[in-house]
Structure 1
Amino acid sequence: MDDVVIVGAGPVGLFLAGDLGLAGCSVVVLEREPEPGSPWRADPIGMRGLSTASVEAFYRRGMLHSLATASGADEDLGGDPRSAGHFGGMVLDPADIDLAALPFRLPTPAAQGMLTSLEAVESVLAERAVKVGVEIRRGVTVDDLAQDEEGVVVRAGEREYAARWVVGCDGGRSAVRKLAGFDFVGTEPQLTGYVMLAEVADPEKLNPFFNLTPTGMYVRMRAEGHLGVMDFDGAAFDRSQPLTRDHLQSVLRRVSGTDVTLTDVRLASSFTDRAMRATTYRRGRVLLAGDAAHIHSPLGGQGLNTGLGDAANLGWKLAATVRGHAPDGLLDTYEGERRPIAARVLDWSRAQVAVMRPDPYAQALQGFVRDLLGTRDGTTYAFERTSGASIRYDLGGEHPLVGRNAPDFHLDDGTRLGDLLPEGRGVLLDFSGDQALRCSATGWEGRIRYAAGTARNNLGLEAVLVRPDGFVAWAGAAFPEAFEPAASRWFGNPVA
């Protein structure tokens, strides 16, 4: 029996698998697709935007260089953001972001987001997963699941896979979610969206980038023939219907208000703005992450980033549970922390759909929102939401840094916080060098990495305890009696 079976070898499943393997868990990943590569995951149609928080997750696991190389991106992602995304098709000006207003920000090599492809992300994550002992089995379709108090058995055809835990990372139509009986609730769609790679006879008739129109929105991407269309048809298009050239051309003409001509369509798919999430992320020994736990429209590019956040949050908690040193209730904090984040993302998606609707009320609201987003405060707020800077878990603690993504503290010897996290352990940064705190920390050796030294900017703190996912568990004065309760809460009892 393996420790964990993960269903789905997309970015979420592979990131989770790598963190579990890093902690010494035996992990098998089951993937329906027989091969890792496809045109849908490659440039240009597979391009995605990673948020600052997602880039930081790769940085903290020592994968930023590999990801930048695979993506053909500049590895130095420090400095000011080069793009700020959009809200409902209204493009944000990165020059209007007030970085000084972001909470507890320090310079970091991962300050910006990154444009990459699913193919690049998955290749980097798969390489790490295999390196730490994860087995990836492709061409495996899960069709049944049964669990008891001891474990879970997943069946795929004539083959059975037994594990102590199963995690469904198998997308919006998750087989794991359905087979395990999770409820999936939310709001029904209002639009049909299309993405295509086509040959256009007269591309000059389409304006570049995001274009809001009286009937919806169309997007002309940078790559030739890469188009997106959102049609407020009440989500009437049935996915069982073929995506013909005539249909796509008709929708594009109606939404764009042009007589543009498509001469050929090489790839095309449809989607809706249905916004749903699971009522719980855990049933017994089965958990959900990524699109299996929550779906919404791709507006704002939050799906992949939210899923990677799920994986980073769950991995170390599930590993501690498997290894037997998790404190009571640790695994339950996964749902408690991540489900509210999904709720905010779903509302962010709904809000964008609301201002895009082709009716006079939405058009009036759109003008109001456009004015707000044209201000420095408005752009900064939107960037906080989409970059992950606004995330704060309710972890208790008096210091306002607790529960936030940790700043990349830079010690005077050149060490950064990000350099201390690739092993997947927590980190205690002691800026005071207090001997008593050092001695106290030795009780959690193997789970917490201790590092001491003066910092170029310690934000007025003497010590900070950072969880393996990069979030601050405790911050304050360097007293063992203050540190120890936080360490026990997140890392279990000290080693005798």
Structure 2
Amino acid sequence: MSENRLHEPEHDVIVAGAGPNGLMLACELALGGIRPVVLDPLPGPSDEPKANGLVGQVVRLLDMRGLYPGFAAELARLGFPVEPGTPEPASRYIFAGMSLELTEVPDNPLYGLPVPQPVLVRLLADRARDLGADIRWGHSLGEFTETDDAITATITRPGGGGYRATARILVAADGGRSPVRKKLGIMFSGITAGNHIGRLGHAEIPAELRTPDGGLEVPGAGHFHFGHNRIESGGMFVFAELIPGKPLVSVHEHNGAPVAPDAPMTFDELRDSVRRVLGADLPMRPPAGPGPHALRRIVDQNTRLADHYRKGRVLLLGDAAHVHSAIGGPGLNLGLQDAVNLGWKLAAYLRGTAPHGLLDTYESERRPVAERVIMHSLAQSALLAPGPEVTALRELFTELLGIPQVAGHIGHLLAGSDMRYDVGDSHPLAGRLVPDLVLETADGTRRVADLLHDARPLLLDLGAGIAATAGNRDDLAAVTATSSDTDATGLLVRPDGYIAWATDGSVSGLQTALDRWLGPARPAPPHIV
């Protein structure tokens, strides 16, 4: 990308899409001194129930931005069973509908936060707006062209009419059917699983069918536990009350009768599909309480990954870059971490402070993580398929998941903590998310998460005598502390919470890491408020 601009664009960056990923990126850019413009064709934050929570390292990332306490308090106000304070890892989870016990897993990485997507979007929109982002609801990105200097886009206003805007960068956070990605001609490689129809909806279920474990006892069909239940004859039944007072029923049919994807979904269609899969009637009726209520159909399942995350002045984010099965809830963990990874790098690029090649590490670090998510979501789908051979395989997997080392491996896979970025440092901590360290500083006891709220890189001197190495770098927070939680004596933590350099004593390699990730020393960027 040429930095010899013939004219200054109106904006640094336009983000197409005000879903969770686009809004999270807007927050990160604002923390980096960039005021983004976020466009979305919807008139306001959507109430449509989609994702039902966050699972994995993204929960710790929210904590590092100081967002967890407020999010938890809002969820508690809405009736969710969320404890205030700091995030705690889950004692158990599921893998392909099989129980994953994590109580004996050391350094359990699997955190969860049951925040429905509409609530998450509203909270992130408020946060982005407070940080100074320009969110334009009802404004739709149309055609755009690219020159060496800028992106020029046509934008449609609410009620019709349009205007043109220029920006140095365009980020496509416009979903799995991304018009931006299609216009760029970036291949979306992968597969579509045919003969598979999923239906889901909120429903009222008779209280006498509910069981103490959160599941159901269906007359003529038997007991179904909370979450995913595989039906060997050809389907899957899911029951979960993720939103207090709003039970969710989902059913997946293999080799079911074809249906037109654009045919309106009805509650009777959901009820009939449940009957076919369970072989019995589930007494249920449409929810009577205030909406919105989920009711949708998914025909076939796309698993696809963009061949490239960047083309010229356009970058792909979230579902625009990858789509996969929602089983296990990995989507927001993947997409929001994409946003946090991209945010500080793009901000540095736009400020002109980024070291050479920094922006390219967005794709080189995050695309392999998407590949892992695609792998385990496909594996879980295979383990939920019909047939006696799959039943036998599940029996074996159930035995394996009972081994703490295996449970830990799967837990790290689902959390996204099994992946280590190549940061150019060989220390075991380098390239991984910083542990939840408790620090003793001159100002008292602090958690490392408390030092990352403003998304500045952090140099932790834990006994190596490296604080002075930061010199007069105003773009770097240097903190001297002690901690019994690690043997490391020094850590360089990137704005996204990942460790760029670590030591148990020597200061060798620190300056190289500073140059590689931060570039030459310069004043810190102004924060937009």
Asked if the contact 2:75–2:115 (Cα under 8 Å) also holds between the matched residues in 1, the reply is: yes
After superposition, the Cα gap between the structure-2 partners of 1:207 and 1:360, relative to the gap in structure 1 and judged at 3 Å, is: closer
1:218 lines up with 2:237 in the alignment: yes
Mapping 1:406-445, distance limit 5 Å: 406-412=434-440, 413-432=444-463, 434=465, 437-445=466-474
Instruction: Give, in whole Å, the separation in 2 of the partners of 1:397 and 1:235.
Output: 54
**Residue number among 180, 184, 206 corresponding to 2:184 in the alignment:** 180
Secondary structure of the structure 2 residue equivalent to 1:116: coil
Report the equivalent of 1:108: none
| Larger relative helix fraction | 1
Asked if the contact 1:26–1:134 (Cα under 8 Å) also holds between the matched residues in 2, the reply is: yes
Residue identity in the other structure for 1:195: L
Superposed displacement of residue 235, structure 1 = 9.5
Please list the CA deviations of residues 220-269 of structure 1 after superposition, one character each: whole Å capped at 9, or x if unmatched: 11245411111123794432122123322221111122122454475411
Residue identity in the other structure for 1:238: A
Asked if the contact 1:200–1:264 (Cα under 8 Å) also holds between the matched residues in 2, the reply is: no
- Is there any run of 5+ residues in structure 2 with no aligned partner, and where? 1-9, 77-81, 157-161, 210-216, 288-292, 524-529
Cα-Cα RMSD: 2.2
Report the equivalent of 2:332: 304
After superposition, the Cα gap between the structure-2 partners of 1:481 and 1:401, relative to the gap in structure 1 and judged at 3 Å, is: closer
After superposition, the Cα gap between the structure-2 partners of 1:382 and 1:238, relative to the gap in structure 1 and judged at 3 Å, is: farther
Asked if the contact 1:66–1:124 (Cα under 8 Å) also holds between the matched residues in 2, the reply is: no
Please list the CA deviations of residues 64-93 of structure 1 after superposition, one character each: whole Å capped at 9, or x if unmatched: 1111112212123455524x3211122323
Mapping 1:32-431, distance limit 5 Å: 32-38=41-47, 40-41=48-49, 46=50, 48-72=52-76, 73-82=82-91, 84-95=92-103, 97-100=104-107, 112-157=111-156, 158-190=162-194, 191-200=196-205, 204-205=217-218, 207-209=224-226, 210-214=228-232, 215-222=234-241, 223-233=245-255, 236-264=258-286, 267-271=294-298, 272-412=300-440, 413-431=444-462
Superposed displacement of residue 481, structure 1 = 4.8
Superposed displacement of residue 441, structure 1 = 0.5
Instruction: Give, in whole Å, the separation in 1 of the partners of 2:86 and 2:438.
Output: 16
Asked if the contact 1:219–1:228 (Cα under 8 Å) also holds between the matched residues in 2, the reply is: yes
Superposed displacement of residue 52, structure 1 = 3.8
Instruction: Give, in whole Å, the separation in 1 of the partners of 2:464 and 2:407.
Output: 40
Query: Is the deviation greater in 264-273 or in 178-187?
Result: 264-273
Asked if the contact 1:168–1:287 (Cα under 8 Å) also holds between the matched residues in 2, the reply is: yes
Q: TM-score, length-normalised on structure 1?
A: 0.90
Asked if the contact 1:409–1:417 (Cα under 8 Å) also holds between the matched residues in 2, the reply is: yes
Query: Is the deviation greater in 203-212 or in 410-419?
Result: 203-212
Secondary structure of the structure 2 residue equivalent to 1:146: strand
Asked if the contact 2:420–2:431 (Cα under 8 Å) also holds between the matched residues in 1, the reply is: yes
Query: Is the deviation greater in 289-298 or in 472-481?
Result: 472-481
Please list the CA deviations of residues 334-364 of structure 1 after superposition, one character each: whole Å capped at 9, or x if unmatched: 0000000000000111001111111233222
Please list the CA deviations of residues 296-330 of structure 1 after superposition, one character each: whole Å capped at 9, or x if unmatched: 11101001110011001000000000000100100
Residue identity in the other structure for 1:212: R
Superposed displacement of residue 47, structure 1 = 5.7
Residue identity in the other structure for 1:198: A
After superposition, the Cα gap between the structure-2 partners of 1:422 and 1:179, relative to the gap in structure 1 and judged at 3 Å, is: same
Asked if the contact 2:464–2:506 (Cα under 8 Å) also holds between the matched residues in 1, the reply is: no
Residue identity in the other structure for 2:94: H
Query: Is the deviation greater in 252-261 or in 179-188?
Result: 252-261
Instruction: Give, in whole Å, the separation in 2 of the partners of 1:492 and 1:295.
Output: 34
After superposition, the Cα gap between the structure-2 partners of 1:443 and 1:77, relative to the gap in structure 1 and judged at 3 Å, is: closer
Instruction: Give, in whole Å, the separation in 1 of the partners of 2:67 and 2:330.
Output: 21
After superposition, the Cα gap between the structure-2 partners of 1:224 and 1:138, relative to the gap in structure 1 and judged at 3 Å, is: closer
Report the equivalent of 2:499: 472
Please list the CA deviations of residues 189-235 of structure 1 after superposition, one character each: whole Å capped at 9, or x if unmatched: 24222221134579552734221112111111124541111112379
Instruction: Give, in whole Å, the separation in 2 of the partners of 1:268 and 1:304.
Output: 21
After superposition, the Cα gap between the structure-2 partners of 1:9 and 1:337, relative to the gap in structure 1 and judged at 3 Å, is: same
Paired residues in the alignment total 477
Instruction: Give, in whole Å, the separation in 1 of the partners of 2:261 and 2:382.
Output: 23
Identity of aligned residues (%): 35
After superposition, the Cα gap between the structure-2 partners of 1:472 and 1:256, relative to the gap in structure 1 and judged at 3 Å, is: same
Residue identity in the other structure for 1:319: A
Instruction: Give, in whole Å, the separation in 2 of the partners of 1:168 and 1:195.
Output: 28
After superposition, the Cα gap between the structure-2 partners of 1:235 and 1:156, relative to the gap in structure 1 and judged at 3 Å, is: farther
Superposed displacement of residue 478, structure 1 = 5.5
Report the equivalent of 1:25: 34
Please list the CA deviations of residues 155-208 of structure 1 after superposition, one character each: whole Å capped at 9, or x if unmatched: 233222321001111111112212222210111124222221134579552734
- Is there any run of 5+ residues in structure 1 with no aligned partner, and where? 106-110
Superposed displacement of residue 26, structure 1 = 2.2
Instruction: Give, in whole Å, the separation in 1 of the partners of 2:383 and 2:89.
Output: 28
Please list the CA deviations of residues 394-439 of structure 1 after superposition, one character each: whole Å capped at 9, or x if unmatched: 22312111101111222213122111111111100011262xx333
Superposed displacement of residue 456, structure 1 = 2.7
Instruction: Give, in whole Å, the separation in 2 of the partners of 1:258 and 1:377.
Output: 39
Report the equivalent of 2:159: none
**Residue number among 458, 461, 471 corresponding to 2:488 in the alignment:** 461
Residue identity in the other structure for 2:502: A
Q: TM-score, length-normalised on structure 2?
A: 0.85
Asked if the contact 2:63–2:86 (Cα under 8 Å) also holds between the matched residues in 1, the reply is: no
After superposition, the Cα gap between the structure-2 partners of 1:450 and 1:224, relative to the gap in structure 1 and judged at 3 Å, is: closer
Instruction: Give, in whole Å, the separation in 2 of the partners of 1:371 and 1:355.
Output: 14
Residue identity in the other structure for 1:216: G
Query: Is the deviation greater in 421-430 or in 351-360?
Result: 351-360
